[in-house]
Structure 1
Amino acid sequence: MSSTQRKKIAVFLDGTWLSRSEAAIKGVRIATGVEYYSNIALMAQTLKPHDQDGVPQVAYYQSGVGTTVGMLANLVAGATGNGLLDNLIAAYSFLVDNYAEGDDIYLFGFSRGAYTARALSGLIDYAGIIKKSQMGFLNPIIAAYTRRSLHKPSTCRHSAEILHKYTHHWPGREAIEREKDFIIRNTGSHHPEDDLLNHWKMGPEVQRVLPPPIKVIGVFDTVGALGIPGAFDMSWVRQFYEFFDTSLSGNIQYAYQALALNEDRQDFRPTLWTVRADEKQAHQVVKQCWFKGSHPDVGGGF
């Protein structure tokens, strides 16, 4: 088998307080109330080493936030999103270590994991998948990326400069256009800071990130603006995580979301992709379907 053979990389990101290891160790009934593997865990468990055509398949499974430390810390993580950034970095690092040009990328997530999957696709659209030799610079790249603020556009310029400093590439063109639109919508001005004008209007000669295609992103019931149930969607949490880009980028070929038809709790309002007809790429397939049941029914694990 050629070492350069195309492979499929599948990333599975579980929901808050969900972990397949706990379910396996503690049996059908475990202390946290989880009775079964979630759909994300089941998908990861059943992925074969090769597909029907012999193409290698590599899986990465990540337990949900609030599954790795003490009870109090787990409750805080589950309620506020603490740990979400660490999960994003871990999933992105896995792609850096395993992705080769031509590989197919599949992203799956449930609830908070769904939000993380969507944020991961946004990071890929912005920074691409950096080289392994650049992994030593991931911390400053991510630090600058996470300090971007819709209310301070100069932070966006700084993030772009840091990415260019360490990778010699500017952020992806589509990601920058979305960044511009977000800032304009949030500031209510069509004249953002002057120091960003050149950042947004760089010529074609500028070497930009060309993000790899994402074959599929499939999510189960993304809830709340940050993947956090509304009761915990506090202003300071929102401000800390506003840098995440969870919109549907043009490098995604297939986008699917399963939604809970019978979930009527205000705190669990779904976060759908909204794609205008003039924004949708010709090659894209976007399907969001309602299924009978509540939030845990759709995602499994309870």
Structure 2
Amino acid sequence: MARNIGIFSDGTGQAGGANPINWTNVYRLFMATREADGAGQICFYDPGLGSNPDEGEIRGPLRRFKDLLAQATGYGITDNIIDCYAALLCAYRPGDRVFLFGFSRGAYTVRSLGGVLGLCGVPVGFADVTRWDGFSDAIRAEEVRALATSAVKDVYMIKDAAARAEAAAAFRQRHGTQPAPPFFIGVWDTVRALGLPGIGSLPGRHKFHDAILNRHVVHGRHALAIDENRQVFAPELWDERAAPSGQIRQAWFAGVHTDIGGGYGLRMGLSDLTLGWMIAAAQAIPHPLIVEPGLVAELRPDALGRQHDERKTSWLPWSEGTREAFVLHDFQPQPARMADAVEPRLQAAAVPILDAMLPYRPRALAGYPPFAAYYGG
């Protein structure tokens, strides 16, 4: 019987844990789907860059890099991709449906993982080999890690497209791989591995991963933050121009990066909006993701919920970079899509932004024609 295999890759510095107040939407969804293990669904959680993962989560021998270096530069994102692919190697059987979810750099990780799967597939029967009782745990781990590393570093990370395609064909022939494009990719506010203020390129810094959605991915969903205003958190949108009709749905939601992806606490109205949107998308398809009903019942989506601002509350000197260019241009030639909850927020007399009640008038929407009336246009 075909199963769902879920990979959940978290944002920078995020690792779930015992305290629910720190849980992102990725971790909350993982916890609600993990309970369905054994019912035709298997799920794996990948802690974010710069976190300190607990035992039992996806991890590898190269994941013990310095937390600050990882959070500042994205160093180690390649290892995250390798770890996630290795988890799939151990679990995948022909016909299984792969669901990938990620937030922030974790979103970039799973989108890159989708590229690896599109190029390399999954070796047929490899999961059975890695479970063979004659293998020690160390040998199994070494075999899995070596193959995953080869797929990512020797194929996917080749910059020249023709050379990359040639290496992928050789990999597939050598390992007898089964095509395994992701069935569903759901991401919150994708950002690439960029640095902290004042930090330039460092040796070993993650420099390249293809971020275009493979045509064989059936469903791609992306929730984006209208109000994020840190320059280095520029979003990585999917290019929809060549995508099959209905494959990609990207929508803008009110709030900053973590308002969208979660992590400010439970029952935050803005992050609950995006989590509910993602769950609905993953369940409104044939062969849906299995989610424990309790998670849906506890959501408290609120279009007028509290909004944060990391530039004002962080000790770091973030350079400003609002998102009007992305809102107005990066969905072309299709019109920008706003989540249904955005306009009610504009219509409200005031909403909670940090510790004040203010009218919602984000700079990113000032030039958006359908909302011109709210800006005096």
- TM-score normalised by structure 2 residue count: 0.56
**Would the aligned equivalents of 2:185 and 2:219 in 1 still touch at CA under 8 Å?**
yes
Over the aligned positions, Cα root-mean-square deviation in angstroms equals 3.1
Partner of 1:105 in structure 2? Answer: 98
Partner of 1:253 in structure 2? Answer: 218
CA-to-aligned-CA distance 1:138-174 (integer Å, 9 cap, x gap) = 4444332255134xx7853773475256325xxxxxx
Partner of 2:30 in structure 1? Answer: 44
Partner of 1:206 in structure 2? Answer: none
Given the alignment, which residue of 78, 84, 90 partners 1:85?
A: 78
Partner of 1:281 in structure 2? Answer: 244
Partner of 1:66 in structure 2? Answer: 50
| Paired letter, 2:247 | V
Q: Label 1:49 to 1:158 Cα distance change in 2 as closer, same or farther (>3 A).
A: same
SS in 2 for 1:11: strand
Partner of 1:125 in structure 2? Answer: 118
| Paired letter, 1:148 | I
Q: Label 1:233 to 1:148 Cα distance change in 2 as closer, same or farther (>3 A).
A: farther
Between the two structures, name the one with larger relative contact order (CA 8 Å, sep ≥ 6): 1
Partner of 1:148 in structure 2? Answer: 158
Matched, 1:299 2:268: no
In 2: Cα distance, 1:83 partner to 1:72 partner: 7
Q: Label 1:137 to 1:269 Cα distance change in 2 as closer, same or farther (>3 A).
A: closer
CA-to-aligned-CA distance 1:182-241 (integer Å, 9 cap, x gap) = xxxxxxxxxxxxxxxxxxxxxxxxxxx663242210000012xx2436857845679853
Unmatched segments (≥5 aa) in structure 2? 54-62, 130-142, 265-377
Partner of 1:212 in structure 2? Answer: 180
SS in 2 for 1:91: helix
Q: Percent identity?
A: 31
**Would the aligned equivalents of 1:18 and 1:67 in 2 still touch at CA under 8 Å?**
yes
Unmatched segments (≥5 aa) in structure 1? 29-34, 169-208
1:190-209 matches, within 5 Å, as none
How far off its partner does 1:93 sit?
A: 0.8
Q: Label 1:251 to 1:124 Cα distance change in 2 as closer, same or farther (>3 A).
A: same
How far off its partner does 1:292 sit?
A: 1.1
Partner of 2:373 in structure 1? Answer: none
Given the alignment, which residue of 5, 11, 14 partners 1:9?
A: 5
Q: Label 1:280 to 1:19 Cα distance change in 2 as closer, same or farther (>3 A).
A: same
CA-to-aligned-CA distance 1:104-150 (integer Å, 9 cap, x gap) = 11100000000001000000001011242584544444332255134
**Would the aligned equivalents of 2:49 and 2:70 in 1 still touch at CA under 8 Å?**
yes
| Paired letter, 2:96 | D
Aligned residue pairs, count = 238
In 1: Cα distance, 2:226 partner to 2:199 partner: 22
**Would the aligned equivalents of 1:12 and 1:60 in 2 still touch at CA under 8 Å?**
yes
How far off its partner does 1:79 sit?
A: 1.4
Segment drifting more, 111-120 vs 260-269: 260-269
In 2: Cα distance, 1:231 partner to 1:222 partner: 19
Q: Label 1:138 to 1:220 Cα distance change in 2 as closer, same or farther (>3 A).
A: closer
1:222-241 matches, within 5 Å, as 222-223=190-191, 226-228=192-194, 231=197, 234=200, 240-241=206-207
**Would the aligned equivalents of 1:260 and 1:290 in 2 still touch at CA under 8 Å?**
yes
SS in 2 for 1:252: coil
Q: Label 1:295 to 1:11 Cα distance change in 2 as closer, same or farther (>3 A).
A: same
Given the alignment, which residue of 54, 57, 63 partners 2:41?
A: 57
Q: Label 1:296 to 1:9 Cα distance change in 2 as closer, same or farther (>3 A).
A: same
Partner of 1:18 in structure 2? Answer: 14
SS in 1 for 2:22: coil
In 2: Cα distance, 1:94 partner to 1:72 partner: 20
Q: Label 1:266 to 1:48 Cα distance change in 2 as closer, same or farther (>3 A).
A: closer
CA-to-aligned-CA distance 1:225-278 (integer Å, 9 cap, x gap) = x24368578456798531x222110111111111111112222221110121xx
Q: Label 1:250 to 1:39 Cα distance change in 2 as closer, same or farther (>3 A).
A: same
Q: Label 1:286 to 1:231 Cα distance change in 2 as closer, same or farther (>3 A).
A: farther
